[in-house]
Amino acid sequence: MRIKSLLLGTIAGAALAVPAFAADMAYPVKAAPIAYVPVFTWTGLYIGGNVGYGWGEGSAPWNNYLAYYYSGWDSAAASGGSDPSGWSGGVQIGYNFQLENNVVLGAEADFNFGAMEDTLNYTAIDIGDPTLQEFGSIDTKIEAFGTVRARLGYAMDRFLPYITGGLAWGNVKVSESWTSYADGTIDGFGGASRSETLWGWTLGGGIEYAVTDNWTVKAEYLYADLGDINWDGAANTKIDMTMQTIKAGVNYKF
């Protein structure tokens, strides 16, 4: 009887020990999967907006122009010129394609409007009769401008320095007004204006940074030669217009 009890106790103890032993055994654990983080790419369509500052240079033979219309008068340009400058704002749309070697090819078109303006003021006095005087002003404005450009950049992850170039256009308006005086009394007045959309070329560069996978910010410089506007054929006066712009922009990439 005592032997039977001893055997039963041994079997029960062994049964209780098996689960504990099994719990202490080490089992191989499968590693958790590594999350794949996609590399950022500049490939895609984007749209955005920009603000900036521009300054132009309108080269014109104004002294010859005044001498032509005020022959025999003591005429002089008192101040100002035809170099419009001012703030601008606009929109852009483009597409980038990033190659495997991180070179980025793209195309962009932008449209900008603003208030770039300069004024040349002049006074003319009749040498034979100093009581005859004429005061005038010539305003030169770039009312709107834009470009259609190719872009070539190199992606450094989320940084994209690039160069760019292509076509440029600008809506240039030139207007003149004058008032004549005789013995201090208004003797007459008049004016003329001409507006023309000029086409030329542009070159520049910039840098763009992707804040998120969809939003980017950029800074850009452009130089543009818009050609010339034929202001006055009789006096053979043309205004050769160039301009430079610095812009900051934001884009949304689809």
Query: Is residue 5 in a domain?
Result: no
Query: Is residue 16 in a domain?
Result: no
The boundaries of the domain holding residue 113 are: 42-253
Over residues 140-190, the pLDDT tens digits come to: 999 999 999 999 999 999 999 999 999 999 999 999 999 999 988 998 999
Q: Which CATH number do you get for residue 140?
A: 2.40.160.20
Region 9-17: what's the mean pLDDT? 44
Residue 81 class from Cβ within 10 Å (0-12 exposed, 13-18 middle, 19+ buried)? middle
Query: Is residue 33 in a domain?
Result: no
The tokens of 39 are what? Answer: 């590399």
Arithmetic mean of pLDDT over the chain: 88
Over residues 76-101, the pLDDT tens digits come to: 777 889 999 999 999 999 999 999 99
Confidence at 71, pLDDT banded by 50, 70, 90:
confident
Query: Is residue 35 in a domain?
Result: no
Least Cα distance to 214 among 158, 164, 153 occurs for 158
Query: Is residue 15 in a domain?
Result: no
Query: Is residue 198 in a domain?
Result: yes
Q: What is the DSSP letter of 62?
A: H
pTM of the model: 0.81
Query: Is residue 28 in a domain?
Result: no
Q: Which residue type, as a one-letter code, is found at position 66?
A: L
